Amino acid sequence: MNGGVFRSIKIALEDQLGNGALEKFDQSAKDNMKDMNNYSTILYNNFKKLL
């Protein structure tokens, strides 16, 4: 991602959620990645059953 875009995202997050919002978001994503992957697999498998 280009530096200007990244900076814009960080500023927008901090405007809405306060200082350190990007770091908190990043940590939360890391903490929940395994669960999100498992839920995605379940969703995909259920979708395939419908086809």
More confident residue, 5 or 33: 33
Quick check: 4 pLDDT over 90? no
Percent of the chain with pLDDT strictly greater than 70: 96
Would you kindly state where each structural domain of the chain is located, as residue ranges? Answer: 3-50
2-25 CB burial, b ≥16 within 10 A, e <16 = eeeeeeeeeeebeeeeeeebbeee
What is the average pLDDT across 1-15? Answer: 84
User: Which residues, other chains included, contact 10 with Cβ-Cβ below 8 Å and sequence gap of 6+?
Assistant: 21, 22
| pLDDT for 29 | 95
- Predicted confidence at residue 1, as pLDDT, reads 55
